[in-house]
Structure 1
Amino acid sequence: MGTAIFTDAYAVIPAVTQRDIVTSFLPGWDSTRAWILARPLSGFAETFAQYAIELGPEGGSNTPEPEMDAQAILFVAHGTAHLTLGATVHVMTPGSYAYIPPGAQWTLWNREDVPCGIHWVRKRFVQGDGLTLPEPVITHETDVRAVPMPGTDGAWATQRFVDPLDLRHDCHVNLVNFLPGARIPFAETHVMEHGLYVLQGTAEYLLNTDWVSVGPGDFMWLRAFCPQACIATGTEPFRYLLYKDVNRHVPL
C-alpha cells in the first residue's frame, strides 16, 4: 500500500514510506540506521518502541541499550547477526528470536559483508509482585510450534516464543500465521496495545472502523481497545510479527 495513516485509534506506516530520508542514527551504533516505527505517545500507545534496524557490514553496537530497566526482543529479518549475551556468542539467522531481560549485558554486530535487518522491540520492564526477572530466550521460529486458534482447523495459528502462562513476562512478541482466505472472524477489542509488522503475504485488515490493505513491510500500530479483524488475501500465507503487553495490573 502507498498511504500512511495516523488516527486517534491506530496508525499504518507502509513499507513504501520507510525510505532513506526517514532513517534515524543512534548514539553508540556503528554503520547502523533505524526506522523507528513506534514510540510511546501520551494518549495513544504508551508501552513500547519498535525499530526496524539495518546493520551495515561490520555495523552494530557494544552498548545497544541506554536504559537499564529496558528489555529487548530481537527478530532477524535478513542477513546474519552475532549477539553476545554475557559470555556467549549466538549466531542469529533469518527467523532467529532473542529475549533479553533488563540489565543484561549484550552486544550486537554484523560480521558479514551484506546488510542485516533486525526488528527490535524495546519496553521498560514492569516488575510483577513476587516474580523474578525472566531468563534470556534464544531460539528460532522453526523450533516453535504453531498453535491453532480454536475453531479454525489450523488456518489461523500463532507461534509463541515464550510460555503465555509465565507471568514473569510483561510483554510478548509472537508470529501470527494465516493461510490464504483465513480470517479473524470477529472484531477483537482488548486492553493490549499492538505493533504488527507484516512479514509475508497480503490481507484486508480492520482497524477501528476502516478496512486497510496491507502487505510485506507494512506496520500497524494499535492503541488499547482498537477493534481489529483480518482476512488473508492472495495465494500465500499472511504472516506478521505481533507485539502486545500482557500479565500486569493496569496502573491507576
Structure 2
Amino acid sequence: MTSSPYHGAAGGLPEQSALHTGRAVFTDAYAFIPKGVMTDIVTSFLPFWDRTRAWILARPMSGFSETFSQYLMETEPGGGSDRPDTHAGIQSVLFVVEGELTLSLAGTTHRLETGGYAYLPAGTDWTLRNSGTAPARYHWIRKPYVAVDGLERPEPFFTSDAAVEPIAMPGTEGRWATTRFVEPADLRHDMHVNIVTFQPGGVIPFEETHVMEHGLFVLEGKAVYRLNRDWIEVAAGDFMWLRAFCPQACYAGGPGRFRYLLYKDVNRHVGFGRVGV
C-alpha cells in the first residue's frame, strides 16, 4: 500500500513514564482535540459493525454544536457493516484517509481508495467493507437531513480529492483555496464537507464569525489557528470543533501546505427549537 498524504488515526497508549504535555481544550465556544488524545482507550464500538472502531470527535450537544457528528473510523481487512446506520433520517459523507473500502449501494459496488469521497443521502441502503489487506481509516460525518417542501432531495455521488479542482478565494493568488464537492448554489444540500488548502503564508485575514457550525480535521501540515480569543498551534491529526458564531482565523506557517477537512451546515432557515418551527 502506498503512503497516504493524509493523517489517519494513531492509536496506541503512552508509556507510564510519559510526561503529560497534552493540549486538549474544551470551552463554551470551541473544542480542540489534538492527535495525541486519540489513543486506544478512547475508541468506541458501533452496533452491527465488525472489526471496526471509531474515535468519536463530535456529537450534538445542547448549548454547543448541535447539527452533526463526526467519527474517525478504523476498519480491519474484511471488516465493515451490512447495516452501518440505524437512523433512517441521517445523511452521510465518507472520506478515506488511508486504505481502501468497498461500498455497495442499490446493487452497485463502488471502490473508495485513499482520497475517495462518498455522499449518501438520508434513507440510503448501503453497506461497507474493507476490501484491502491493511486497515482502512476514514471520516464518517453524519447529519439529520432537513427536507424543504418544493426542493428535491440530493442523489448519492462518489468522487475523490484528486478529481475536484480547488477554487481559489478571490484576491488570494491561490494561497487559500477550497475543494468543493458540492456546488454551493445547490440548495438541495443542507451541509457541505469540503477540503480547505492554504499554501505557506496563506491566511484567513479576518475573524470569521458566522452561524455555521464547524468540524475541522487537519489532514496535512501545520498552522496557527484563531479560535474565539485564543491562537492555537495545530498540525496534521488535530481536530477543531466550533459552535456557531465562534470567531476563527488562520495563519499557515509552512514549510508545506496546510489542509483540513471542513464540515459546515448551510442553506436552511434558522430553526426555533421548542417553539416547534
TM-score range, shorter chain: over 0.9
1:92 aligns with 2:112: yes
Q: Is the 8 A contact 2:115 2:161 kept in 1?
A: yes
**Deviation per CA, 1:67-95, whole angstroms, max 9, x where unpaired?**
00000000000000001111111110111
* Partner residue, 2:237: 217
Superposed displacement of residue 141, structure 1: 1.0
Q: 1:207 aligns with which of 218, 227, 233?
A: 227
Question: Is the radius of gyration larger for structure 1 or structure 2?
Answer: 2
Q: 1:42 aligns with which of 41, 47, 62?
A: 62
Superposed displacement of residue 153, structure 1: 0.5
Q: Which runs of 5+ in 2 are unaligned?
A: 1-20, 273-277
Instruction: Please show how residues 17-166 of structure 1 align to structure 2 within 5 Å.
Output: 17-166=37-186
When the two structures are superposed, what TM-score results if normalisation uses the length of structure 2?
0.90
Tell me, in whole angstroms, the C-alpha distance in 1 between the residues paired with 2:256 and 2:210. 29
Tell me, in whole angstroms, the C-alpha distance in 1 between the residues paired with 2:112 and 2:208. 34
Q: Is the 8 A contact 2:175 2:202 kept in 1?
A: yes
When the two structures are superposed, what TM-score results if normalisation uses the length of structure 1?
0.99
Tell me, in whole angstroms, the C-alpha distance in 2 between the residues paired with 1:166 and 1:234. 34
* Partner residue, 1:176: 196
Q: 1:191 aligns with which of 202, 211, 221?
A: 211
- Structure 1 runs (4+) deviating above 2 angstroms are none
Query: How many residues align structurally?
Result: 252
Please, which moves more after superposition, 166-175 or 109-118? 109-118
Q: 1:248 aligns with which of 268, 271, 274?
A: 268
Superposed displacement of residue 190, structure 1: 0.3
Bigger share in strand = 1
Superposed displacement of residue 2, structure 1: 3.4
Superposed displacement of residue 129, structure 1: 2.7
The AA in structure 2 aligned to 1:174 is N
Q: Which runs of 5+ in 1 are unaligned?
A: none
**Deviation per CA, 1:98-127, whole angstroms, max 9, x where unpaired?**
000011110110022210001000000001
Superposed displacement of residue 234, structure 1: 2.3
Superposed displacement of residue 230, structure 1: 0.2
Tell me, in whole angstroms, the C-alpha distance in 1 between the residues paired with 2:131 and 2:246. 41
Tell me, in whole angstroms, the C-alpha distance in 2 between the residues paired with 1:222 and 1:74. 20
1:237 aligns with 2:247: no
Tell me, in whole angstroms, the C-alpha distance in 1 between the residues paired with 2:264 and 2:167. 17
Tell me the SS of whatever aligns to 2:109: strand
Aligned-CA RMSD value: 0.8
